[in-house]
Structures are given as structure tokens and as C-alpha cells.
């Protein structure tokens, strides 16, 4: 296990582990969730739902792998991260999983837990298996759940308040601002779905949020294709653009082409009247949740199908290529290397 590393490298390892964990946990639901619902594959829908809810656990394990923790330490980190995320709630019927928890808090708690685990190291020798799981789980996990989680959740509420104010503007202006906000948020540790549900984002606001996420997913896939290859690239829009979170934190300017793309997509949300519900606003094209919910509202006519394909696929893809060329070859503010993802 690596003990002596700088704060920057430590943070990057946590962020990289978070990004990988998010992809692993969300891909099953993104690929099969809506399809399972449409064909009434109840068991498949339940399994993908379980995978999604286990995100904090998987995140803890993938962060542990970044730090090369041993099995005892890795298991402890996975449990502590899950507790700190708030994904587990006690009800009258027992313990239950609720959503995916707070990803931001999960990352903070995981970082604190890794620090504590490294601080303890092998000093306890044979007592490690007794002390480390009990101490880190209760102290760090408890701190994350009861102290940090309420504070971090307020941050999500503040972002939600800002977004809700955008909805008072004209459809095109509101669409641009909401789309850009969600495009940035989907690459950050913040939960787009959580913000949308908190403020009840619906109508064109929900549609713009989804198109912003589409701009991020397709844009990042295009910008990172040369470095990441086909499989990883399509995971950006079929799964989650959050896999670029570590790169975003290291170099925020890599989002400039994505923000430009999102602004165009957001304007078209207002022009084409792309709508959605609070429950669909945080997903974009992942699992076809965004487009299917839009069509459920406006109807499955041929014109609506064409408009939906144009808004959710054609425009963000076209603008992805345009702005990738502009900001890499013309203005030269970003490079291919800015989007490289390493899973080891």
C-alpha cells in the first residue's frame, strides 16, 4: 500500500476510483433498465436496480483498488463509503437501499476513511482485522452520515435553488442556462437526478436538462475517442459522463467544448419544446429515459419521433464534432490528452 503521496495525487486517486465505480454500477441500468420495463422483464429490472443502488459500495471498492488496499481494508472502505453516502435507511420493516445516496459525500467519506486506514497501517498487526473495520466504520462512517451528509446535501439544495430560478426566464434562455448547468453537473460529483427531483424540474426545464447531459455524453465521447477507444467512448452516453470527473477536476477547461455544445442544445430545447418530468431530468439519453419520457408526454407521432431524434442525438453529436474541431484545432484550448481515462 502506498502511504506517502501528495494531496493532489491522493485526491486524483479518489476521483478516479469514484469515476470507475460510477460506470460499473450505472451501466447495467443504463443499458437494460428501460428496455426491461418496456418488455416487462421484472427480474432484469430488479437486478439492474440493485446494481444502481450498490453504487457507493462499488465506489468504495474501486477507490480501494486505486490505493492498493488489502482485503480487510478494502472491505472496510466499501462499507464505510456506503454508510456515509446515506444510501441505506432504517425503516419500520428494516434496512433498505434508497436511490444511490449522495455521491459527493460518499467521495469525501471514502477519502477520510482511506486516510484513517493508511494512518493505522499495519501497526495493530494481528488485531487489525478486529479494530480497523469496527473503528473506521463507526467513526468515519458515523461522521459522514450524521455530520457531513446534512451539510453536503444543502449544497445540492443550493444548486437546485439556482436552477429553479432559471425556469422563470424565457424558454430559450432558460433552456440554455439549465442545459449548461446540467452538462457541468453530470461531470461533477453532484447528482443531476437529485437536483431535478429536489426542485421538481419539469416541462422544458427537464428537457433542457436532459439535452445538456446528452451534450456532455456525446461531446465527451467524441473528444476522448482517440485516447479512449470505442467501448469507453460510448459508455459516456450509454452510461454516465461522470467517468470524466477526475479529468474535469484536474483541468476544468476540458469542459469548454461541452459547455458550448450544451448551450446550443439548450436553445433547441426551448425552440423545439423538448419536455420531461422531474424523474427523467437527470439522465439524458442513458437508458433512453430522456427521449422516452418526452415522447410519453407529446405522443408517438412521426413528427415527434423525428424531433426527438434530432434533439437528443443529431444536434449534440453534430455540435460535438463542431466544437471538438474548433477548440482543439482552431482555438486550441483543449487537447486529446485532456480526455484520456485510465482504469488501472
Question: pLDDT for 281-297, tens place per residue?
Answer: 888 888 788 998 899 89
Question: pLDDT for 87-120, tens place per residue?
Answer: 988 878 888 888 888 888 999 999 999 999 999 9
- Region of residue 240 (phi > 0: left; psi between -120 and 50: alpha; otherwise: beta): beta
Whether pLDDT at 1 is above 60: no
Asked if 82 and 88 count as a contact pair (C-beta separation under 8 A), the reply is: yes
Q: Which three cell numbers stand for residue 288?
A: 433512453
Q: Which three cell numbers stand for residue 292?
A: 422516452
CA distances from 312 to 36, 127, 244, 280 (A): 21, 55, 20, 13
Amino acid 2: pLDDT: 45
Question: pLDDT for 215-257, tens place per residue?
Answer: 999 999 999 999 999 999 998 998 889 889 989 999 999 999 9
Total-model pTM: 0.81
Q: How many CB atoms lie within 10 A of CB 301?
A: 10
Q: How far is the C-alpha of 340 from the C-alpha of 344, rounded, in Å?
A: 12
Burial class (CB in 10 A: 0-12, 13-18, 19+), 238: middle
- 129: pLDDT confidence band, cut at 50, 70 and 90? confident
Whether pLDDT at 344 is above 70: no
Q: Find all residues with CB under 8 Å of 245, minimum gap 6, and list them.
A: 15, 18, 19, 22, 187, 188, 189
**Alpha carbon distance, N-terminus to C-terminus of the chain:** 15
Amino acid at each position: 500500500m502506498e502511504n506517502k503521496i501528495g494531496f493532489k495525487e491522493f485526491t486524483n486517486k479518489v476521483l478516479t476510483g469514484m469515476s470507475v465505480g460510477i460506470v460499473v454500477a450505472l451501466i447495467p441500468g443504463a443499458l437494460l433498465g428501460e428496455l426491461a420495463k418496456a418488455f416487462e422483464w421484472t427480474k432484469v429490472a430488479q437486478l439492474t436496480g440493485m446494481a444502481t443502488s450498490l453504487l457507493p459500495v462499488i465506489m468504495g471498492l474501486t477507490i480501494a483498488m486505486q490505493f492498493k488496499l488489502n482485503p480487510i481494508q478494502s472491505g472496510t472502505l466499501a462499507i464505510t463509503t456506503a454508510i456515509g453516502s446515506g444510501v441505506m435507511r432504517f425503516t419500520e420493516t428494516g434496512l433498505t437501499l434508497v436511490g444511490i445516496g449522495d455521491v459527493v459525500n460518499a467521495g469525501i467519506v471514502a477519502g477520510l476513511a482511506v486516510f484513517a486506514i493508511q494512518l493505522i497501517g499495519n501497526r495493530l498487526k494481528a488485531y487489525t482485522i478486529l479494530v480497523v473495520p469496527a473503528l473506521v466504520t463507526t467513526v468515519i462512517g458515523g461522521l459522514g452520515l450524521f455530520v457531513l451528509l446534512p451539510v453536503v446535501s444543502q449544497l445540492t439544495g443550493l444548486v437546485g435553488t439556482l436552477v429553479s430560478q432559471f425556469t422563470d426566464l424565457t424558454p430559450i434562455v432558460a433552456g440554455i442556462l439549465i442545459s449548461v448547468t446540467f452538462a457541468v453537473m453530470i461531470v461533477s460529483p453532484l447528482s443531476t437526478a437529485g437536483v431535478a427531483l429536489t426542485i421538481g424540474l419539469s416541462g422544458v426545464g427537464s428537457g433542457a436538462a436532459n439535452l445538456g447531459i446528452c451534450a456532455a455524453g456525446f461531446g465527451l465521447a467524441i473528444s476522448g475517442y482517440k485516447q479512449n477507444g470505442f467501448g469507453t467512448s460510448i459508455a459516456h452516453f450509454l452510461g454516465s459522463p461522470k467517468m470524466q470527473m477526475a479529468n474535469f477536476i484536474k483541468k476544468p477547461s476540458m469542459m469548454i467544448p461541452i459547455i458550448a455544445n450544451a448551450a446550443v442544445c439548450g436553445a433547441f430545447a426551448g425552440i423545439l419544446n423538448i419536455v420531461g418530468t422531474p424523474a427523467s431530468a437527470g439522465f439524458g439519453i442513458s437508458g433512453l429515459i430522456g427521449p422516452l419520457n418526452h415522447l410519453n408526454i407529446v405522443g408517438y407521432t412521426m413528427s415527434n419521433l423525428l424531433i426527438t431524434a434530432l434533439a437528443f442525438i443529431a444536434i449534440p453529436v453534430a455540435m460535438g464534432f463542431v466544437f471538438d474541431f474548433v477548440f482543439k484545432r482552431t482555438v486550441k484550448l483543449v487537447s486529446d490528452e485532456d480526455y484520456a481515462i485510465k482504469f488501472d
